[in-house]
Structure 1
Amino acid sequence: MRRVKPAAPHGNAAPVAIKILVAGGFGAGKTTLVGTVSEIRPLRTEERLSEAGRPVDDTGGVEAKRTTTVAMDFGRIDIRPGLAVYLFGTPGQDRFWFVWDELAQGALGAVVLADTRRLEDCFPSVDYFERRGIPFLVAVNCFEGARRYPADQVRSALDLGAHVPVVLCDARQRDSVKEVLVEVVELALTERQSVYS
């Protein structure tokens, strides 16, 4: 019996994989976002918050948080046939930022997840991606009970240029997260094409 090779997506085109980072402050919802949208069982490197970490872990505004990512979160989703997105969630606390450079290698774009209750926690992520020239957008995670602000006010508060998209999302809702990912993939591909054209 002759075995038939499955056709590659889009004719003979090889599948494309895109690496996207998910960054933001401690407790912004990065682990939730990756887990909500991943089509595979997400890899998580969470540990329980400890008494030893209490002096350095600012839980103001996220008092119910009991765990923290110590290395990364990882998930995968197919945006369309032949286009897979690999998601790498970064740790939010500054003592784990040494892994960011490793995670950022080969990344085409990033999502900075923002919590308006602790908006200042976004600044390190925004600075990181601006310095490295990695295209990013800011996704405001709309937590229950948190005051909602228009995208323009968030842009102004974070001092973002007009070229940086700001979108509202709910990290617990798959469709909402997919919209964020589609936008960041389009942003990354557009910027990449402009570099090579």
Structure 2
Amino acid sequence: MKNRNITWHQSAVTKKDRHLLNGHKSCVLWFTGLSGSGKSTLANAVDYELYQQGFHSYVLDGDNVRHGLNSDLSFRVKDRKENIRRIGEVAKLFIDSGQIVSSAFISPFQEDREIVRQLFQPEEFIEVFVKCPLHVCEDRDPNGLYVKARQGEIPEFTGISSPYEIPDKPEIIIETDKLSIDQSVEAVISYLKEQKIL
């Protein structure tokens, strides 16, 4: 429940002002997919390419955010929902600051992603489905999480003991088992140019 005794203060510098200063619009690239699908790798590669081209951007990574802002949350369904809600609010602040923010979270539930989408103008929220077969994600398994999940050591693990709901209508689909990282980055950058964000 929102506190009635607080007021949203408008900034003297508007989002549009920041767009003009930066030379590009702001948006959130919401990378979603299974663990090991390549979300963080792709988000960071896109961020680096944007940096190389002189654009203002930042990556909100799932693990990194849980080290600080969301360190009080577990991986139970209720806390996972709160994790995504908080990230949506943080991303909204980044958008207001005129930046392109990449959010790399599993965010397995369609309902949660839709709630976050509603925080933004339609053109500001770009859902990027990082599509990769479960068996490929398991083969990659950089942190050994799937092995632990299969052994029952990690409860409610997405793709094993907890569902991943495939996005209904993502703006971009990147099949990381078929495309190279360079091809994947180019697909995202091309979309941003087509939408006149860059």
* Structure with more strand by fraction: 1
> Structure 1 length as normaliser, TM-score?
0.42
TM-score between the two structures when normalised by the length of structure 2: 0.42
Higher relative helix content: 2
- Larger RCO (CA within 8 A; separation ≥ 6): 2
